[in-house]
Structure 1
Amino acid sequence: MKRLILSSTFLVGFAHTSFAADVFAPQDTAVYNWSGVYVGADAGYGWGNSTQDFDGIDYNVPLDPKGWLGGLYAGYNYQLSNGVVLGVEGDFNFSDIDSKGVRGISAGVDDPTFSYGSDLKWTGSLRGRLGYAAGQFLPFVTGGLAVGRYENFQTAAGVPYSHTNTFTGWTLGAGVDYAMAEHIVLRVEYRYTDFGDKHIVDPVWTDWNVDLSTNDVRIGIAYKF
């Protein structure tokens, strides 16, 4: 959570400094060019679909975490003469997307014996982007590789136990950038990410499988060089 607060603080400070330096710069919106390198910060809210299934028994845990995220992104755009914008972008976000006190379901009935939870600690991605320049607006779609660090934990007979793994999958999204000044670009974006699933060989409990996918909505601000 401290990392999330630091990311949000950076976002506010960055916006204030850049806004004061650049927002009143003269700009011809008809010929705005999106080509160039940019760096930014974002924050948002995410919700996930995640199930933990145990091998050989009719027992599953609907984890479904949700919460806030925040971090940094950077990329490069190249605008073609017909207005099409091609780009590449990477991002890294600390996350507070978690679940706690979840009961398992055995043969369709809640099991009060065990308590489960999960925590998506961080996420990152490397993506391509395709957009169309419409003056100060750049609607875009994006997609590529995604990774995330996901912890699953449980308590049995008062004894806590956890298992953390790095998941690798893919992400797709869409959004719009808005050039409010020559070097200041605001963003609203939706992203769907499928982190895939992992089979966990557990030396303490029964082996199990866990999957994770997330949806999130983000707002961001970037400085375009």
Structure 2
Amino acid sequence: MFNRFALGAAFLVSAFFATGNPAQAETADWSGFYLGAHAGGIAAKEHWKWNQAGLYAASAGETHDPSVNGLIAGGQAGYLHQWGPWVAGVELSATTGHLKDKSNSTSTPGVVHKTTIDWFATAAAKFGYAREDYLFYGLAGYAGTDIHTSTGQPGVSEFFEEVWQSGFLLGAGVDYKLSKHIVLGAQYNYMHIPERDRTGTGQFEIGGSTGVAESISTGADYHIATLRMSWQF
């Protein structure tokens, strides 16, 4: 893990100094609106905790930590304003991936846990430093995600809930101005989604409630890396 962060930091530092002497080259204009698309990968770690025993958990305090990894794609829009080499603004993004995990319970035979992440969105403040045709920046703000969770005995009964969960985003990236309007970039984001209770009763496949109360707390941590292309107006 440390080696990966060290390599990433070395890349950003080398890219910064590779831009040359700022006194000898004009810094690009980053002010204005932009609209674009991104694609990349996500490594998500879900955190489940049962608040009480039920049909699908042997005891309160039982946990389940599925990994949900895959490819993603989406779009971003934002506005930047520049003061000398300093740049600040806001960015909105929406990303989809239809990511899934399915695993058997380790405590209750015949029970299967499923997680699906359909999409997530962010709204963040953006602050950076421009040098020649490069913009090095950081992000911080809101993150929200659509998480489906289900646990049950296939063909018999299931407890299912889909809720929107909110958290925060921290990120960093570098953009390169290929032309007056075309911007290429790479970005890394960390999203933390605090735990939220999901309560209700399971449902039989043939219809009707199991009559047994279920209560599960779920949260998540996302690590997201994307390549981006934007059009600056």
Give TM-score, length-normalised by structure 2: 0.78
Q: Is the 8 A contact 2:116 2:147 kept in 1?
A: yes
Structure 1 partner of 2:20:
none
Decide which of 183, 186, 191 is 2:184's aligned counterpart. Answer: 186
Most deviating of 176-185 and 156-165: 156-165
Code of the aligned partner of 2:105: G
Q: Is the 8 A contact 2:27 2:130 kept in 1?
A: no
Q: Is the 8 A contact 1:42 1:71 kept in 2?
A: yes
Code of the aligned partner of 2:170: L
| Distance in 2 (alpha carbons) for counterparts of 1:79 and 1:44 | 28
Structure 1 partner of 2:225:
217
Q: Does 1:35 align with 2:31?
A: yes
Q: 1:162: how far off?
A: 2.1
Structure 1 partner of 2:99:
97
Q: Is the 8 A contact 1:62 1:104 kept in 2?
A: no
| Distance in 2 (alpha carbons) for counterparts of 1:186 and 1:209 | 39
| Distance in 2 (alpha carbons) for counterparts of 1:32 and 1:51 | 44
* Corresponding residue pairs, total: 192
Decide which of 47, 63, 74 is 1:71's aligned counterpart. Answer: 74
Structure 1 partner of 2:207:
none
Decide which of 165, 173, 176 is 2:174's aligned counterpart. Answer: 176
Deviations 1:184-207 (A, max 9, x none): 001100000012111111222521
Aligned-partner SS, 1:32 = coil
| Distance in 2 (alpha carbons) for counterparts of 1:51 and 1:123 | 17
Code of the aligned partner of 1:209: S
After TM superposition, the structure 1 = structure 2 runs for residues 1-225 of structure 1, keeping only pairs within 5 Å, are: 30-56=26-52, 57=59, 58-81=61-84, 83-100=85-102, 102-106=103-107, 111-156=108-153, 158-159=155-156, 160-204=158-202, 205-225=213-233
Q: 1:60: how far off?
A: 2.0
CA RMSD across the alignment: 1.7
Aligned-partner SS, 2:132 = coil
Deviations 1:13-38 (A, max 9, x none): xxxxxxxxxxxxxxx96241111110
Q: 1:94: how far off?
A: 1.2
Q: Is the 8 A contact 2:159 2:201 kept in 1?
A: no
Assess, with a 3 A threshold, how the Cα gap between structure 1 residues 54 and 91 changes in structure 2: closer, same or farther. same
Deviations 1:93-139 (A, max 9, x none): 11232212x12233xxxx44211111111100110001100111101
Code of the aligned partner of 2:38: D
Assess, with a 3 A threshold, how the Cα gap between structure 1 residues 157 and 31 changes in structure 2: closer, same or farther. closer
| Distance in 2 (alpha carbons) for counterparts of 1:155 and 1:201 | 14
Q: Is the 8 A contact 1:39 1:74 kept in 2?
A: yes
Aligned-partner SS, 1:142 = strand
Q: 1:51: how far off?
A: 1.9
Q: Is the 8 A contact 1:42 1:218 kept in 2?
A: yes
Q: Is the 8 A contact 1:29 1:136 kept in 2?
A: no
| Distance in 1 (alpha carbons) for counterparts of 2:25 and 2:178 | 10
| Distance in 1 (alpha carbons) for counterparts of 2:154 and 2:39 | 38
Most deviating of 193-202 and 33-42: 193-202
Q: Is the 8 A contact 1:78 1:86 kept in 2?
A: yes
| Distance in 2 (alpha carbons) for counterparts of 1:31 and 1:61 | 50
**Runs of 5+ in structure 1 lacking a partner?**
1-27
